[in-house]
Amino acid sequence: DRVPVLTIDGPGGAGKGTISCLVAERLGWHLLDSGALYRLTAQAAINHDVAVDDEIALARLAEQLDVAFPIEGGRPRTMLEGDDVGQAIRTEDAGERASQVAALPLVRQALLQRQRDFCQAPGLVADGRDMGTVVFPDAPLKIFLTASADERARRRYLQLQEAGVDASLPSLLKEIQARDARDMQRSVAPLKPADDAITLDTTRLSIPEVVDRLTELLTQRG
């Protein structure tokens, strides 16, 4: 039988990362954080002095990306070429660079099969921008998670504060809006709900409420 996939797409700061992780944990399914692959490609470009517009070199980096996501002490780590880059790839700058390399068709092409390889029994929760539209078009349940830009900026701000990172709310809002615009307007795999996706606005929902709602939807479909 086919391995079931739950795709969770949407703009930055909508809560995809947190929600995907919790739902995967509850179901005992695998998790694909596709944004991390774009962030890691951008980080590899820095490590190897590759320019952010050298599409061919970036695609080669993406194809040969030496990454691992080991779980240590119950927390997943992100290793690139043997170094823990978990912190470095989570900054707003890293997100911005990721969004630049993610606009390049050859880079997306290079990461396609790698993403599909995450689909293994008993199931996969796939978090990103084009999980339902491009990478897993046959997924039985597709969710498009959104929230107002103000609310998403506020969540990012709290997340950064918690991590001890200085941030300004107005500039976060601007960065989020700029990244959304680039992700929605690019010609390959733009950010948009799949035709058969269910849109869930989380502006006024708590994390447990969203997790419950998704588990409910999965039970209905399963």
15 assigned binding-site residue:
yes
How do the residues of the chain divide into helix, strand and coil, expressed in percent and rounded to 5? Answer: 50, 15, 35
Q: Smallest distance from the beta carbon of 112 to ligand C5P, in angstroms?
A: 10
Please list every residue from 52 through 91 that binds ligand C5P, using CB under 6 A.
none
Per CB under 6 A, 12 contacts ligand C5P: yes
Please list every residue from 143 through 202 that binds ligand C5P, using CB under 6 A.
179, 183
Q: How far is CA 45 from CA 53, 94, 103, 105, 173, in A?
A: 10, 11, 15, 16, 26
Q: Which lies closer to ligand C5P via its Cβ, residue 98 or residue 197?
A: 98
* Cα 61 to Cα 182: distance, rounded to the nearest angstrom: 22
Q: Smallest distance from the beta carbon of 4 to ligand C5P, in angstroms?
A: 19
18 assigned binding-site residue:
yes
Taking alpha carbons only, the member of 198, 23, 208 closest to residue 127 is: 23
Q: Largest alpha-carbon pair distance within the chain?
A: 49
Instruction: Considering only the stretches 124-132, 138-146, 151-159, 163-171, report the one whose residues sit in contact with ligand C5P under the rule CB under 6 A.
Output: 124-132
Burial class (CB in 10 A: 0-12, 13-18, 19+), 108: buried
Nearest residue to ligand C5P by CB is: 35
Helices 34-47 and 55-63: crossing angle in degrees, nearest 10, is 120
16 assigned binding-site residue:
yes
10 assigned binding-site residue:
yes
x/- track of binding to ligand C5P for residues 129-148 (CB under 6 A): xxx-----------------
86 assigned binding-site residue:
no
x/- track of binding to ligand C5P for residues 28-47 (CB under 6 A): ------xx--xx--------
Helices 149-162 and 169-185: crossing angle in degrees, nearest 10, is 120
Residue written as tokens 């978990």? 86
Instruction: Considering only the stretches 62-70, 80-88, 96-104, 158-166, report the one whose residues sit in contact with ligand C5P under the rule CB under 6 A.
Output: 96-104
Residue written as tokens 């929902």? 205
Q: Smallest distance from the beta carbon of 181 to ligand C5P, in angstroms?
A: 11
Q: What 8-state DSSP symbol labels residue 45?
A: H
Show binding-site residues for ATP.
10-18
Binding positions for ligand C5P, rule: CB under 6 A: 12, 34-35, 38-39, 95, 98-99, 102, 128-131, 179, 183
